[in-house]
Amino acid sequence: MTSRLCTRSVLLRLSLFLAISCVLATSAFLWARAPQDVTPDGIPHFNRPAPTPPPQAHPIDTLMKKADREWHRLMAKETTDLESAAKAYRWRRGRHPPPGFDKWVEFARLNGAVVVEDFFDQIYHDLTPFWGLEPAKIRRQAKNFEFVVSVRNGSMTVKSDDKDRPWMKLWGNMVGTIAEWLPDIDIPINVMDESRVVVPWEDINEYVKAERASRKLVPRPEVVREYTGLQEIDENPGEPFDLEWIKGGLYWDIARVGCPPDSPSRNVEALTNFSGPPPMPSGFPDRSFEGYVTNWTEAKDPCLQPDLRGSHGTFVEPISMSTTHYLFPIFGGSKLPMNNEILLPPAMYWTTDEFYSGGEEHGGAWETKKTAVMWRGAASGGRNKLENWTRFQRHRFVSMVNGTAVQHAEKDSNGVGPNFELLSYNTYHLTATQYMDLGTWLNSISEAAFVNLVCFPGTGNVNCPYTDAYYEVKKTMSMREQYAYKFLPDIDGNSFSGRYRGFLRSTSLPVKATIYSEWHDSRLVPWLHFVPMDNSFVDIYGILDYFIGTGIAKRREGEEKAVVEGAHDEQAKKMADAGKEWAERVLRREDMQIYVMRLLLEYARICDDRRERLGFVDDLE
Ligand SMILES: *[C@@H]1O[C@H](CO)[C@@H](O)[C@H](O)[C@H]1NC(C)=O
Ligand SMILES: *[C@@H]1O[C@H](CO)[C@@H](O)[C@H](O)[C@H]1NC(C)=O
Ligand SMILES: *[C@@H]1O[C@H](CO)[C@@H](O)[C@H](O)[C@H]1NC(C)=O
Ligand SMILES: *[C@@H]1O[C@H](CO)[C@@H](O)[C@H](O)[C@H]1NC(C)=O
Ligand SMILES: CC(=O)N[C@H]1CO[C@H](CO)[C@@H](O)[C@@H]1O
């Protein structure tokens, strides 16, 4: 804290006394690049010798190397035929594969899929607790839900209150394309943006134990090879269960009961005062590697980050809430780590609507792109109001990359903005801030803006009395137009951000922060296919500094080409290319079908009274 306040005060030209005590308090390294390196008027001057390069590798270099190794480790497990796939299955899952597994392998093979058993981990994470419920109960819950996609005799049907509900249509369509290979199933669908189920951790733990106890490789003669089917429930559907929906209250308090008892968030109560900037790290984020996300699973997990209760719209004020603490089967496109829905690839990824998918145009060559950060979107994330808008993630992000807003904070208020707090320049040691202030630099490399302030109470879409002073509303920009920029941050809205797949498939580089889990999580490797970012966004400057550097090209004496100090453009291009190439191999529509087919075979088994003995063993004969 001392050095944070001190250095900032130097930069902000506060009292000499503080400057001296700061110099005394900070290390020799800081001293070496202290005030004289910073131009007081924010104008870059390049007539100084280049700073000596840092002694070790940049942490991002280290993380990229680690990601490469991680990917090779994954790919070493690739399976190519029924035999190796079934073997990998038994090894990882401890059971026989479900009936229909041979058709599944065949379908994957015909569609040229990369098959690594680990890519399907999310399915097992989601379904495991259901081994703790009676199959008959799951079938009845599923059958009687209001929104259901069903398969009978290889045909798909949709039950909904309105046949034009887009999510129902899209997911119905997705299941319909593979229905001929599926057993009879009822798939209850979450039609809301927000996730719906948080079962207390202690209950889930019991359900998971039930799965563990029943897990075994049943001797071949005892294996049942055919699903029972749903005739019985069709003839005798019974009544819906009362799931005791919770429709009000503080979502943080509802959600944290899903956290492990010893996790940092479990016993931290919700906030009720959302005025001013959110709690933010005062140094490198916890669990980071020298300031950068190193474990993506942890970086996304609110159970490990109580601060998120005051800095993410999901916990500040969701638009709508309808949650239960009882386990029942419901499928949706995204969820928090403490939720218990069953994930499908989001309908927004299945649609061919260009607004979400970005269409089939993926952007031009890297060299033709503008070296800048582009973000356009609505001020969603929840219901932002006068009393709490400063705690919403999209607002925070747009402000933190707004050079003017950042400059105000630096010059006038000791680094504290209306909805963010800056770290000292001596935390991340950016190249850019050796030459200019953060605001000046950001103004030259960043073009983020809202297209709609989503004010509450509503005042039309463009004006908003409490945020007008902080944001300039700009025109919507199609994803295709955004691909003209190298760096595309992706920030949660009311739940996950539906443009992520489009960004991954683009020739630009996605920079991703989220607290939501999705179907694809175990097939994407952070720092290889995308740049992971902390939910506080304090690492955004370090990320941009590494890739873009000062943003201003200059020619050194005796050198032919002008270079941008500190830039790693090659690495950015490499990651953008790798992400695109990988998305074209494992995030195709075919890959979604393959994921859903595997998921639904498993789900049908869990719904079957004979589930403990149901299995596929033909490969062992
Ligand atoms: C499915 O097929 C079975 C056997 O052919 C038949 O008894 C049943 O009525 C069919 N169900 C539906 C929903 O078509
Ligand atoms: C909320 O917090 C702010 C800043 O800490 C404080 O000024 C304000 O009085 C608090 N409001 C209430 C209602 O407690
Ligand atoms: C990331 O963190 C999770 C949860 O703490 C842990 O289980 C996992 O092993 C970690 N992954 C890596 C690659 O370190
Ligand atoms: C950037 O911040 C300034 C000062 O808060 C504000 O006037 C301006 O509208 C913001 N720009 C955008 C694009 O939101
Ligand atoms: C979850 C929560 O407490 N949200 C609050 C956001 O701020 C408004 C205005 O103070 C409150 O009404 C909400 O309850």
Q: Which ligand 1 atom sits closest to the C-alpha of 234?
A: 13
Q: Are strands 553-554 and 331-332 parallel, antiparallel or unpaired?
A: unpaired
Give pTM, 2 decimals.
Answer: 0.90
Measured CA to CA, the distance from residue 304 to residue 287 in angstroms comes to: 10
Structure tokens at 294: 């190193």
Tell me what pLDDT residue 325 has: 97
Task: Tell the residue nearest (CA) to atom 4 of ligand 3.
Answer: 298
Protein residue whose Cα sits closest to atom 3 of ligand 2? 275
Tokens representing 435 are 């030459």
**Nearest partner of 310 among 194, 384, 405, 390, judged by Cα:** 390
Number of the ligand closest to the Cα of 522 = 3
**In this structure, what are the phi and psi dihedrals at residue 150, rounded to the nearest 5 degrees?**
-120, 155
Pocket of ligand 3 from Cβ distances under 6 Å: 295, 297-298
pLDDT of residue 243: 87
| Ligand 3 atom index nearest CA of 301 | 4
- 152 in ligand 1 pocket by Cβ < 6 Å? yes
Looking at residue 34, its pLDDT comes to 33
Distance 296 CA to ligand 3 centre (A): 8
Distance CA 37, CA 316 (A): 41
Gap from CA of 163 to ligand 3 centroid (Å): 43
Separation of CA 449 and ligand 4 centre (Å): 8
The finding on whether 274 has its CB within 6 A of some atom of ligand 5 is: yes
Residue nearest (by alpha carbon) to ligand 3 atom 5: 298
CA of 122 to the centre of ligand 2 (A): 41
User: 379, 467 in Cβ contact below 8 A?
Assistant: yes
Cis ω on the peptide bond leading into residue 200 (within 30° of 0)? Answer: no
Q: What is the pLDDT of residues 132-189, one digit of tens each?
A: 999 999 999 999 999 999 999 999 999 999 988 999 999 999 999 999 999 999 999 9
Specify the ligand 2 atom closest to the Cα of 276.
Answer: 4
| Index of the ligand 4 atom closest to the CA of residue 402 | 1
Residues of the chain with pLDDT under 50: 1-50
| Per-residue pLDDT, 461 | 61
Which residue has the least CA distance to atom 10 on ligand 5?
A: 387
Q: Is the CB of 235 under 6 A from ligand 1?
A: no
Ligand 3 geometric centre to CA of 352 (Å)? 35
SS3 404: helix
Residues 6+ apart with CB under 8 A from 477: 374, 376, 451
Query: How far is ligand 3, taken at its centre, from the CA of residue 294, in Å?
Result: 9
Q: Whose CA is nearest to atom 4 of ligand 1?
A: 153
Q: Of 511, 478, 484, which Cα lies nearest the Cα of 364? A: 484
373, 406, 472: residue to mutate for ligand 4 pocket, most atoms within 8 A of CB: 472
H or E element that contains 8 = helix 2-11
- Minimum CA distance residue for ligand 1 atom 10: 153
Q: What is the pLDDT at residue 17?
A: 38
- In angstroms, the CA 259 to CA 199 distance is 9
Pocket test for ligand 4, best of 376, 390, 395, 402 (most atoms within 8 A of CB): 402
How many angstroms separate the alpha carbon of residue 260 from the centre of ligand 3?
Answer: 15
Measure CA of the first residue to CA of the last residue in the chain; give whole Å: 67
Ligand 3: atom nearest CA of 296 is 1
Alpha helices in 15-58 (DSSP H): 16-25, 28-32
The torsion angle over the Cα atoms of residues 263, 266, 267 and 269, rounded to 10 degrees, is 130
For residue 465 and ligand 2, the question of a CB distance below 6 A is answered with no
pLDDT in tens, 118-133: 999 999 999 999 999 9
Facing residues of 448 across strands? Answer: 375
Strand 370-378 relative to strand 446-452, pairing: parallel
My answer on whether omega of the bond before 302 falls inside 30° of 0, hence cis, is no
